[in-house]
Structure 1
Amino acid sequence: MSSKSIQIVAFNNPYPANFGGAIDMFYKIKALTQLGVKIDLHVFYDDRANFEELETLCETIYRYKRQKHIAKHFSFLPFSVKTRQSQLLVDRLKANAAPIFIESLRCCGMLINANFKQNVAVRNHNIEHNYSWGLSKSETHPLRKLAHYIEGKKQKKFEAILNKADLLFNISYSEHAYFSKTYNPKSVFLPAFQGYKSITSKPGRGEYALYHGDLTTADNLKSAQFLITVFKDLDFPLVIAGSNLPKSLLELIQKYNTISFVKVTEQEELTKLIENAHINTLYSFQESGTKLKVFTALFNGRHCILNKNMVDDAKILSVCEVAETKKAYQNAVRELISKQFSLTEERKVALANYKDIENAKIIVENLL
């Protein structure tokens, strides 16, 4: 067992692990703990205030409530950064000799004026300005659309702060290439942490296709609307699952007998839907290297159709049906409707790089 220590600065509460960034952070913490690494966790949070599970994994947890006053939108800094600044955080980090692991550019405001004696690493979850501009393109509300665009402009300018880090851990191949080329610190490819230890996909056939996501976000809502246009012409049921259903999407769903909504509030409910679906449908209008719902589908589900915005790992893409247009998506569905599912060696190989313990060792070897 290791006697090493690390200080992690999280942009949100990693628990519950029910969205992409939280999943990566939570299972990273869990894997490092299993390697014997002692963790001091610093968390910026909004309304996610349940830390009980994390308290069993970390030595100490320091909480910092985000200050999201509207005036912070008028700073030269990105709103996502300005609301995550704390002198108390800086003082605590400096008082501890352990290396610092910063989750996301959003927490890098601490690097503006502070110089740390210990090594500092940044985990790049996205190319943040591309993510914000993607949200802007998907958003229909004029004010939110403008806000996301301006946020992206600020993030692009602020991104140069990464040169003050010693190490960059990048979550996808495309983003790894970008950060390696653009910034001076050593870049290391660190695949997504996702919590699955084995593939549990059921053989055989399911009776519906499934799309799931947070339907209050612009990209997921737009993707759900796209998939409705795909399935409205097909004689195969589509189930859309989420914790909230916007009125505009409800009105669209009600037009078609083969399309339905299922409200899910617990992970176990969603897992059952994924396991029993014949096809897990994934789509995004945002170019972002890795979306973790891909792994949820491949570790737990049968057939998977997606577009390349979901993931940039060639091995993962090779075990899915890739469809970019409505016509291509419909053709992929028609091809899979009658196709029995059986787990292939190709899927096992493709998912072999996504083992949390092995990926935690990458952090230990490069930072601790």
Structure 2
Amino acid sequence: MQEVLLKKIVGKQPWSGVLLLRHLGLRPSSNMHLHVVSFDIPWPANYGGVMVVFHQLRALHRLGARIVLHSFEYGGRTPQPILEEYCEAVHYYPRSRSLWQQVSIEPFIVRTRKSGTLLHRLLQDEYPILFEGLHTAGWLAHEALRKRHKIVRMHNIEWQYYRQLAQSAPSLTQRLFFEMESLRLRRAEARLLPFADDVLALSPSERDYFARYPVRTHYLPAFHPYDAVCSLPGSGQYALFHGKCSVPDNERAALWLIEDVFAGLPVPLVVAGMAPSARLRTAAARQPNVRLVADPDNAQMEALIRQAHVHLLYSFQSAGVKLKLLQALFGGRHCVANDYALAGTALHPLCVRANTAAETRHAVLSLMAQPFKESDIAHRRAVLEAHYSNEHNARLLLAIVAGLYEPSTAERV
């Protein structure tokens, strides 16, 4: 009876279902088991995708969910005992990235995560399954999983993301790989997603895109490191650009800022991120006002974010939601962003928009002279904690897992 009432109310007011879970005494988190299949080991949480996964685990654990985590091990990332603090069980699977894996109509990022051992473990019980990204959804259409509740968290419209990566790739080999992968991902998306029960999107526009498939689609904002806005008032001494430097789009944005915006500007720029290339290191070394911080750990990155005076959020592609934008808004001071970085969000009022080099230089110089005020922090709290609360969104996710929440016409407005 309570579930029927909840569904009726949710149908009229899309967010009320989550808020009413406590009011109606419904606790889908109690003794709720959930398989989470992650494309990578989600700790350290030092780039966007794993940040979403790790802080989702943390938020679900706080609500009492009992998580069985499955992660793929590659790229130098190793098993992490901290994950056992948030999960009832943690399993790791090797990911082979041999060139032979390219000889397939399946996408490389899917084929290399299609573990038979993973499927065997998923079949040991009847728990719902949350697949993180199309990367992990290779078994979605398997006959043995047909009756299971299957949820796919899409971190991008992957085929579009890979097409945009091709446009930013520095070499012909990389461009060809990304173009081929984009074609394979487009086919895989159309083939696999109809076998899901629910698809979770990071933005309203991506939710509307996935609504073309015969599944329930939901907008579920990204999980992030912050439980509250913790920006510091006052002034910092530098501008900051941060991101995973090995991603072509991030490298392109960093080079543009170094060479076209900050060259000759009387403002220090810090560029921080994982795996910067020799090209990026050289470009930073040429500018006396630019400092490159390579491979910072979580504590270093957090300190850089909180102490910066201006955050630079730049991208040349609109795919996905930029986690570094949420990091800067929750933990930093002034933010300057271009339209690509803000695409798919409602965060425009919290940033100064600047798209050209001249606009960016003007914005940086103006903001460096303006202390960050308590009223700025209050404005951020009003916007961010209403829509990007980890606890609120974890409750929404558990309601979806429990079958207590369905998308409505009102949610699509």
TM-score, with length taken from structure 2? 0.85
1:292 & 1:207 partners in 2: Cα distance? 23
Q: How many residues align?
A: 367
Within the alignment, does 1:205 sit opposite 2:235 as a pair? yes
Q: 1:114 aligns with which of 102, 126, 143?
A: 143
What residue number does 1:129 align with?
Answer: 159
Deviation at 1:243, TM superposition (A): 4.1
Equivalent position amino acid for 1:63 in 2: Y
What residue number does 1:17 align with?
Answer: 45
What residue number does 1:356 align with?
Answer: 390
Q: Which runs of 5+ in 1 are unaligned?
A: none
Q: Which runs of 5+ in 2 are unaligned?
A: 1-28, 403-413
What residue number does 2:182 align with?
Answer: 152
What residue number does 2:316 align with?
Answer: 285
What residue number does 2:11 align with?
Answer: none
Deviation at 1:58, TM superposition (A): 1.2
Q: Is the contact between residue 289 and residue 309 of structure 1 (CA under 8 Å) also seen in structure 2?
A: no
What residue number does 2:329 align with?
Answer: 298
Deviation at 1:200, TM superposition (A): 1.6
Equivalent position amino acid for 2:138 in 1: G
| Alignment of structure 1 residues 98-247 onto 2, 5 Å | 98-116=127-145, 117-160=147-190, 161-180=192-211, 182-228=212-258, 229-247=260-278
1:244 & 1:83 partners in 2: Cα distance? 22
Equivalent position amino acid for 1:332 in 2: A
Which 10-residue stretch deviates more, 147-156 or 320-329? 320-329
Equivalent position amino acid for 1:354 in 2: Y
Distance 1:314 1:69, change over 3 A: closer
Q: Is the contact between residue 246 and residue 274 of structure 2 (CA under 8 Å) also seen in structure 1?
A: no
2:159 & 2:129 partners in 1: Cα distance? 24
Equivalent position amino acid for 2:128 in 1: P
What residue number does 2:106 align with?
Answer: 77
CA RMSD in angstroms, aligned pairs only: 1.6
Equivalent position amino acid for 1:183 in 2: Y
Equivalent position amino acid for 2:39 in 1: F
Q: Is the contact between residue 31 and residue 357 of structure 1 (CA under 8 Å) also seen in structure 2?
A: yes
Q: Is the contact between residue 130 and residue 287 of structure 1 (CA under 8 Å) also seen in structure 2?
A: no
2:144 & 2:194 partners in 1: Cα distance? 12
2:62 & 2:345 partners in 1: Cα distance? 30
Which 10-residue stretch deviates more, 49-58 or 249-258? 249-258
Equivalent position amino acid for 2:280 in 1: L
2:43 & 2:347 partners in 1: Cα distance? 27
Deviation at 1:254, TM superposition (A): 2.9
Q: Which runs of 4+ in 1 moved over 4 A?
A: none
1:307 & 1:213 partners in 2: Cα distance? 15
Within the alignment, does 1:312 sit opposite 2:346 as a pair? no
**CA distances 1:255-279 after superposition (whole Å, capped 9, x unpaired):** 3222222335311111111111110
1:3 & 1:142 partners in 2: Cα distance? 51
Within the alignment, does 1:55 sit opposite 2:89 as a pair? no
Equivalent position amino acid for 1:42 in 2: H
Distance 1:55 1:154, change over 3 A: same
Which 10-residue stretch deviates more, 226-235 or 255-264? 255-264
TM-score, with length taken from structure 1? 0.95
Distance 1:248 1:148, change over 3 A: same
Deviation at 1:18, TM superposition (A): 0.9
**CA distances 1:200-259 after superposition (whole Å, capped 9, x unpaired):** 211111111111222222111101011111111422111112344422223222332222
Deviation at 1:37, TM superposition (A): 1.0
| Alignment of structure 1 residues 86-105 onto 2, 5 Å | 86-105=115-134
Partner-residue secondary structure (3-state), 1:235? coil
What residue number does 1:347 align with?
Answer: 380
Which 10-residue stretch deviates more, 54-63 or 97-106? 54-63
Within the alignment, does 1:33 sit opposite 2:61 as a pair? yes
Q: Is the contact between residue 174 and residue 312 of structure 1 (CA under 8 Å) also seen in structure 2?
A: no
Partner-residue secondary structure (3-state), 2:361? helix
